[in-house]
């Protein structure tokens, strides 16, 4: 009856521990919230709520559930660190950085064109001088 995940014969998963309920072999949270990571579920529960997480997990395909849980955990942690903006703050920072880098790249490419044409002109005149 034992499985690789927590069930009622083994330690309950972090979700069932937190919710103080029996962790069955069919527990939807058990594969993704191991008992040694209690904070992960606590954060997700605080921001999204256990029932919302359960609904999201049921909506996604089984092979995508781990990624879904990890992204929820990431968002929850970000929201706890920054209660006003959450991970949207990081998006804003990254967007600004992208724009800054794009501007800098344009300026650098413009400088590169100027350097290349200047050097091309000098090389041409040096070659022409040797020939002439």
Q: Which stretches of the chain bind other proteins, using CB under 8 A?
A: 46-49, 51-52, 56, 59-60, 64, 67-68, 70-72, 74-75, 78-79, 81, 83-99, 101-102, 104-105, 108-109, 111-112, 115-116, 118-119, 122-124, 126-127
Instruction: Report in angstroms how near the CB of residue 48 gets to other proteins at its nearest.
Output: 6
Instruction: Report in angstroms how near the CB of residue 16 gets to other proteins at its nearest.
Output: 20
What element of type H or E holds 1? none
Nearer residue to other proteins within complex by CB, 30 or 32: 32
Residue 88, token pair as written in the block: 């949207």
Nearer residue to other proteins within complex by CB, 1 or 84: 84
Instruction: Report in angstroms how near the CB of residue 100 gets to other proteins at its nearest.
Output: 9
What element of type H or E holds 49? none
The position carrying tokens 């781990």 is: 66
Q: CA-based diameter of the chain, in Å?
A: 94
Nearer residue to other proteins within complex by CB, 1 or 128: 128
Residue 105, token pair as written in the block: 């790249």
What element of type H or E holds 103? helix 88-131
Instruction: Report in angstroms how near the CB of residue 7 gets to other proteins at its nearest.
Output: 25
62: DSSP letter? G
* C-beta neighbour count of 20 within 10 angstroms: 7
Nearer residue to other proteins within complex by CB, 9 or 88: 88
* C-beta neighbour count of 61 within 10 angstroms: 7
């Amino acid at each position: 009856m034992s499985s690789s995940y927590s069930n009622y014969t083994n330690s309950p998963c972090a979700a069932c521990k937190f919710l103080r309920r029996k962790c069955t072999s069919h527990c939807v949270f058990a594969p993704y919230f191991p008992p040694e990571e209690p904070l992960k579920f606590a954060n997700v529960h605080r921001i999204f709520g256990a029932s919302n997480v359960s609904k999201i997990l049921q909506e996604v395909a089984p092979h995508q559930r781990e990624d879904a849980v990890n992204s929820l955990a990431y968002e929850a942690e970000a929201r706890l660190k920054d209660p006003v903006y959450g991970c949207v703050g990081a998006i804003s920072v990254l967007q600004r950085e992208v724009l800054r880098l794009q501007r800098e790249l344009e300026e650098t490419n413009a400088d590169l064109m100027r350097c290349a044409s200047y050097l091309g002109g000098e090389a041409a005149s040096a070659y022409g001088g040797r020939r002439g």
